[in-house]
Structure 1
Amino acid sequence: MSEYSSMLSDLSENITNEDLEQLKSACKEDIPEDQSNSITCSRDWFSYLENNDKLAQDDLSYIEHIFEISRRPDLLTRVIEYRTTVLKISEDDEIDTKLTRIPSAKKYKDIIRQPSEDEIIKLAPPPKKA
């Protein structure tokens, strides 16, 4: 299995039927309603996007945009990781490439990333009641 197929499979496993309806709704301008009704699982959705030139192994901008507007930073982060590790497109290059339309996409990496010990704000204990 190619890394691209592996990424799509991983994304599919993390898209519920409810998520799929939200993603299809976000694409309603690009997917006619009669065809949208025939998309019943995330694999169908990815296939439709590929067949209609919205998704390709080296063109992920459409799903990055859909994941961002659908508020799915977890899925967006996986796509960004694939793009930076497999396609070798760095975050610095992403503004200049056709692979993303979202210069703000890298902000989601910080949301998903766990803070280091130095970044955690320690709160003082509450004052004792008199």
Structure 2
Amino acid sequence: MSEYSSLLTELSENITNEDLEQLKSACKEDIPGDQSENITSSKEWFSYLEKDDKLAQDDLSYIEHIFEISRRPDLLTRVIEYRTTVLKISEDDEIDTKLTRIPSAKKYKDIIRQPSEEEIIKLAPPPKKV
């Protein structure tokens, strides 16, 4: 079994039916209602995401986002561990993709970069009280 398959199995074991409903709700814009009703297990959910090109062995950003907005830090942490140890993608590399998980956020990518010294506005100290 590949490390990717092991990851999905481990994640599946930690997703209850109630969790699955919450996760499907978090990605309702990407899974049509009739398709969502047919997904009854976390393995089917992962399989659907793979077929829809939302999940791949080397691209877990979509489920990272879903776990983040679904308030599942335990699952998110496991995915991040996989990304850093197996895929060798560090947090420094991640800064470029942090906001690009959501397509509409791509336009804000440049905003999150650190300003240069010339771009920082220096403020004068506040006036002293007399």
The normalised TM-score by structure 1 is 0.75
Give the match's secondary structure for 1:96: coil
Displacement of 1:97: 4.6
Structure 2 gaps of 5+ residues are none
Shift of 1:107: 23
> How far 1:101 sits from its partner (Å)?
3.0
Q: What is the deviation of 1:120?
A: 36
Greater relative contact order (Cα < 8 A, sep 6+): 1
Aligned length in residues: 130
TM-score computed with the length of structure 2 as normaliser: 0.75
Structure 1 spans left out of the alignment, 5+ residues: none
**Contact kept in structure 2, 1:95 and 1:103, CA below 8 Å:** no
Q: Hey, what's the Cα distance between the residues in 2 that align with 1:116 and 1:85?
A: 32
Distance 1:27 1:92 in 2: 27
Percent of counterpart pairs with the same letter? 90
Contact kept, 8 Å, 1:23 with 1:66, in 2: the verdict is yes
Question: Per-residue displacement from partner, 1:66-90 (whole Å, max 9, x unpaired)?
Answer: 0000000000000000000000001
- Shift, 1:95, TM fit: 1.4
Shift in Å, 1:98: 8.3
Q: Contact conserved, 1:23 with 1:67, CA < 8 A, in 2?
A: yes
